[in-house]
Copies of this chain bind each other. A is one copy, B any other.
Amino acid sequence: MPKWKKVEFEEIEYEPKSIKEILIEMKNISELMVDLAYSALLFNNKELAEEVKYLEVRMDTLNYDIRLIALLAARTKEDAEELTGILQVAEAAETISNAAADITKLLSVRLTHPILPGLIKKSDETIKKLTIKEGSVAHNKTIKDLRIASETGVRVLTIRRKDRWIYAPKKDELLKAGDILIGIGPEEGLARLNKLFEGKIKVL
């Protein structure tokens, strides 16, 4: 069973979080989903489409949580007015996430020949999902330490660590074995970075 499906059938765990934290994560997810959805389509990449579905499930959970918290928090008319505004933002974030998921659904439609990648693929850049293996020198190093940007031209769009995403990671984010990175950049750069993550080379 794919990961997003497994998560969908799990019981929703109530994690205590603030409205602020949830809204920030919803904002990050919707931005990331739009980016990944178009990329999945342009590069005809089912792995990315899978990631989009996984994020959609996460978004659903957050939307449930934020409603729950809002309903519990409203005490006065003023509270209710403010919380209504927040729920509208959450609703819009979910709409964006659903539309992004719709874009990736086109990947599963079997076209006579896939017209979209041919149409709008940028020839100089591609996008790839990379996993940091045990024993790679990347473990406990930052993006800056490894000089990923300058040596490979790859920009790290996001890092998934177990069931959590690190959106738009900063250069001083510490990488860990097991991390899944989505990188965008030149094909050779991504291949080189993959070798480092697989432990086949020690420097970029």
Q: Which residues of A contact B (CB under 8 A)?
A: 19-20, 23-24, 27, 30-31, 34-35, 37-38, 41, 78, 81-82, 85-86, 88-89, 91-93, 95-96, 98-100, 102-103, 105-106, 109, 111-113, 115-116, 119-120
Contact = CB atoms under 8 A, between A and B. Distances in A.
Contact of A38 (B20, B31, B99): B31
Contacts of A78: 112
Contact of A102 (B23, B24, B86, B88): B88
Given A91-B102, A92-B100, 15 more contacts: A20-B119, A31-B34, A34-B96, A37-B92, A41-B89, A82-B115, A85-B106, A85-B109, A85-B115, A89-B106, A92-B99, A92-B102, A93-B103, A95-B98, A95-B99
Contacts of A95: 95-96, 98-99, 102
What does DSSP make chain A's interface, helix, strand, loop or mixed? Answer: helix
B120 A23 contact: yes
Nearest to A110: B81
28 contacts: A20-B119, A23-B119, A27-B120, A30-B34, A31-B34, A31-B35, A31-B38, A34-B34, A81-B112, A82-B112, A82-B113, A85-B106, A85-B109, A85-B115, A88-B102, A88-B105, A89-B103, A92-B99, A92-B102, A92-B103, A93-B99, A93-B103, A95-B95, A95-B96, A95-B99, A96-B96, A96-B99, A99-B99
A130 to B, nearest CB: 23
Contact of A89 (B19, B91, B112, B116): B116
Nearest to A102: B92
